[in-house]
Amino acid sequence: MAGFSVLFFISSQRASYRYRLMHTTTFFITAIAALSYFAMATGVGKTLTTIGEHRHGAPREFFYARYLDWALTTPLLLFDLTLLAGLPVAEIIVLVLADEVMIVTGVIAGVHPTKTGKWGFFTFSCVAFAWVLFQLVTSGRSTAFLRSPKVGGLYNQISLALVVVWTLYPVAFALCEGTGKLSPDKEILFFAILDVIAKPLWGAWLLIATPDEGHVLVPESLCAPAGTPASGGYGAISQEPRAEDA
C-alpha cells in the first residue's frame, strides 16, 4: 500500500493541476489504507469481541482500524468512480451517505454481543450495500455513456470489477467475524487480498485507462495561485482597462 501511495503521489504531481483530482483521490485511498495496516501491524486498532452469544462465545480479535479505513476510503473509491461516470453532485452525496450507513452498520454487526443483533445489523449493512451497487449499475452506467461511448465502456469494465470484489467483503465477514470459521490470521490475509485488488490495483487501472474526456476538470479559478486573474480572488489584479484610463 505504501509503495503504491508513493507512485500515486508522484503521478498526481506530474499531472496538470486541472487533471489532478482523480490522481489525488487515489493517492489518499492507498495512503489511508497503508496507515490502517501499519496500525494493525503495530498492535493497535483492534479489540476483543466474541463469536456467539454474549458470555458464552469464543473471544476473538476485532480489527476496528479496518472499518475506520473503509469509512474513509470507500467513499473516495465511489468518488473516483462517479467522477468517471459524471454523476451529479447530489447523487454522489446520497451514494456516499448510503456507503457510510453500510460501514457503520457493519461495525456494529462486528462487535454486537448477540447473534440476533450481529446478523440483524449485517442484514442492514447488506441492504445499504445492495442500494449502492444498484445505483452504480443503473444511474452511474447511463450517465457514463452520456459522456462518451469510450467512457461508458470503461465504466462498465471498472465498475463491474469493483462490484465483484466488494461482493466478497460480506462473504469474508460471514466466514470471519460472523461465524469464526476462519482464524484471525486467515481473516487478515483474506481482507488484505481484497484490499490490494480494490484499492491500488483498481486505482492504477482507473488512472491508466481513463481517457482525457473521462476526467472531471477542476475549474481554472481553483487551480490558479491567489492573486492571479484566473483565481478570481480578492487579491486578483484585473487586467481589464479602467474606465478612467480609456
Query: Does residue 227 have a pLDDT over 50?
Result: no
- In a domain, residue 104? The reply is yes
243 in any annotated domain: no
- pLDDT the model gives residue 97: 95
Q: Which domain range does residue 194 map to?
A: 2-215
Q: State the pLDDT at residue 234.
A: 42
Average pLDDT of every residue of the chain? 83
Residue 220 lies in a domain: no
Check residue 216 and give its pLDDT.
60
Which set of grid coordinates corresponds to residue 10? 508522484
Whether residue 242 is contained in a domain is answered as: no
pLDDT band at 224 (very low <50, low <70, confident <90, very high): low
**Each residue's pLDDT tens digit, 120-175:** 999 999 999 999 999 999 998 998 898 889 989 999 999 999 999 999 999 999 99
For 65, residues 6+ apart whose C-beta sits below 8 A from its C-beta are: 36, 39, 40, 44, 45, 46
Is 168 part of a structural domain of the chain? Answer: yes
The number of distinct structural domains making up the chain is: 1
196-222 pLDDT, tens digit each: 999 999 999 998 888 776 666 555 544
Does residue 236 lie in a domain region? no
How far, in Å, are 16, 19, 217, 224, 240 from residue 231 at the CA level? 16, 17, 15, 5, 15
CATH number of the domain at 47, please. 1.20.1070.10
Residue type, 13: Q
The pLDDT tens digits for 13-41 are 887 776 788 888 999 999 999 999 999 88
Entry pTM: 0.82
CB contact at 8 A, 17 and 223: yes
Which amino acid is present at 112? H
